[in-house]
Chains A and B, each alone.
Chain A
Amino acid sequence: MRKFGRFWWDFVVGDDWVGAAGVVVAIGATAVLVAAHVAAWWLLPLAVVLVLYVTLRRAAA
């Protein structure tokens, strides 16, 4: 069971949890903006720029 959990963690989250956490937050924020009738298609591309910045900076440090 532990190995199974580890496999899925590596599969989805990988080396840096920032990517997966950023994706969850960005999708949630998009849903909130959509619910408030705001055009929110731009949020995920912007989130990818930010998430990549943070995770690459952490890797390069």
Chain B
Amino acid sequence: MPGTIFHVSAVFLVLSAFLASAVEMVEALTIVLAAGIARGWRSSLAGLAAATFALAVIVAALGPALTVVPLKDLRLVVGGLLLAFGLQWLRKAILRSAGLKALHDEDALFAEELAAARGAEHVERAGLDWYGFTLAFKGVLLEGLEVAFIVLTFGSTQGSIPLAAAGAAGAVVLVAGIGIAVRAPLARVPENTMKFAVGVMLTTFGIFWSAEGAGAHWPGDDASLPGVLVFVILISAAYVALLRNRRLVTA
């Protein structure tokens, strides 16, 4: 059923881009809110707009360039990068779930950013509070670069950058909408669970594409993707259980 397989891949693609984007945008929102409250909304929103523009330029410039790379080479390089990147996310998520790393706390981060922003010196450039502008710009750009990377790599390798971009854009609109409505850090978003899900997705696609890029053939081709996903979930759960029981800790 090639149609069904395509739909499964497309769902994974949109879901992965949506989740990764949502997680990063929650973090970016915290920074923009802190900059806005402490340094004024004009500078903070100008930083947000400038970073969004820079990210759009990066995606628009690199997107078409990636589509001319042969698919096998692209899958090898992108798969390898995604796997290395995904293993970082998964490692942190497993350590957090096992209680060996502090959970991500948006309220604490917000308080920290707010205190730093309030204590910084006021320097005006181009009619903007420079600290507020650069804080929002750097926060959104750095968080957004990970999303741009995921959109470009997932999209190009799966043959649909617009689909991945749509997933990411959906998350941006949702997080920004909720952020405007509540005007507070989104501490109640299950961020740690979402980070775990993103780590699993990145690792799954990384395994799948880098093996294909290296010339291996999966039994059942794309239909094996859900199997790889289940495998990654199971080993992650097993490592969380082992770490909770301290069975992985060196004596």
Q: List CB contacts (< 8 Å) of B182-227 with chain A.
A: 203, 206-207, 210-211, 213-219, 224
A13 contact set on B, CB distance < 8 A: 84
**Cβ-closest 7 pairs across A and B:** A34-B215, A14-B88, A30-B214, A19-B87, A31-B214, A20-B84, A61-B250
| Contact indicator per residue, chain B 142-176, by CB within 8 Å of chain A (1) or not (0) | 00011001000000000000000000000000000
- Closest residue of chain A to B94 (Cβ to Cβ) is A56
A48 contact set on B, CB distance < 8 A: 83, 87, 203, 207, 232, 235
Q: Give the residue of A20, A28, A41, A51 whose beta carbon is less than 8 angstroms from that of B211.
A: A41
The yes or no answer to B130 lying at the interface (CB within 8 A) is no
The yes or no answer to A39 lying at the interface (CB within 8 A) is yes
Task: List residues of chain B with CB under 8 Å of any chain A CB.
Answer: 76, 79-81, 83-85, 87-88, 90-92, 94-95, 98, 100-101, 145-146, 149, 203, 206-207, 210-211, 213-219, 224, 228, 231-232, 235-236, 239, 243, 246, 248-250
Contact yes or no, A23 B83, CB < 8 A: yes
B224 contact set on A, CB distance < 8 A: 41
Contact yes or no, B85 A11, CB < 8 A: yes
Contact yes or no, A55 B211, CB < 8 A: no
Q: Give the residue of A12, A24, A49 whose beta carbon is less than 8 angstroms from that of B235.
A: A49
| Contact indicator per residue, chain A 21-61, by CB within 8 Å of chain B (1) or not (0) | 01110011011011100011101110011011101110111
Contact yes or no, B216 A19, CB < 8 A: no
B88 contact set on A, CB distance < 8 A: 14-16, 19
- Closest CB-CB distance, B222 to chain A, in whole Å? 13
A23 contact set on B, CB distance < 8 A: 80, 83-84, 87, 206, 210
Task: List residues of chain A with CB under 8 Å of any chain B CB.
Answer: 11-16, 19-20, 22-24, 27-28, 30-31, 33-35, 39-41, 43-45, 48-49, 51-53, 55-57, 59-61
Contact yes or no, A12 B81, CB < 8 A: yes
Q: Give the residue of A30, A43, A52 whose beta carbon is less than 8 angstroms from that of B91.
A: A52
20 contacts between A and B (CB under 8 A): A19-B88, A24-B80, A27-B80, A30-B216, A31-B214, A40-B214, A41-B211, A44-B83, A48-B235, A52-B94, A52-B235, A55-B87, A56-B239, A59-B91, A59-B95, A60-B98, A60-B243, A60-B246, A60-B248, A60-B249
Contact yes or no, B214 A27, CB < 8 A: yes
B76 contact set on A, CB distance < 8 A: 27
Q: A12-B81, A56-B95 given as contacts; is B250 within 8 A of A31 (CB)?
A: no
- Closest residue of chain B to A32 (Cβ to Cβ) is B214
- Closest residue of chain B to A61 (Cβ to Cβ) is B250
What separation, in Å, do the CA atoms of A41 and B219 have in the docked complex?
Answer: 8
B228 contact set on A, CB distance < 8 A: 45
Contact yes or no, A55 B91, CB < 8 A: yes
Q: A31-B215, A59-B100 given as contacts; is B248 within 8 A of A19 (CB)?
A: no
